[in-house]
Homo-oligomer: A and B are copies of this chain.
Amino acid sequence: MLKEERQAYILHQVNLHNKVLSSHLSEQMQVSEDTIRRDLQEMAQEGKITKVHGGALSNSFHVGITSRDVYSVEEKRTIALKAVQLVQDGMFVLTSGGTTIIELARLLPKDLQATFITPSLAAAFEYTNHPNIEVVMIGDKLSKNAKIAVGGDAIRRIRQIKADICFLGINAIDINDGLTDNDWDVVEIKKAMIDTSKKVVALSISEKVNTTEQLTICPVDEIDILITELPPDAAPLKPYQKKGIRIL
A: residues with CB less than 8 A from B are 2-5, 7-8, 11-12, 15-19, 21, 47-48, 50, 52-55, 57-62, 64-65, 68-72, 98-99, 119, 121-122, 124-125, 127-128, 131, 134-142, 144-145, 147, 149, 154, 157, 171, 182, 207-208, 213
Interface of A is mostly: mixed
Partner of A138, one of B21, B134, B139: B139
Are A136 and B139 touching (Cβ within 8 A)?
A: yes
Minimum Cβ distance to chain B for residue A1 (Å): 9
Partner of A125, one of B21, B64, B69, B149: B64
Minimum Cβ distance to chain B for residue A4 (Å): 5
Are B139 and A61 touching (Cβ within 8 A)?
A: no
Minimum Cβ distance to chain B for residue A12 (Å): 7
Minimum Cβ distance to chain B for residue A95 (Å): 14
13 contacts between A and B (CB under 8 A): A2-B55, A3-B54, A7-B65, A11-B64, A12-B64, A15-B70, A15-B71, A16-B207, A19-B145, A60-B70, A65-B122, A65-B125, A135-B141
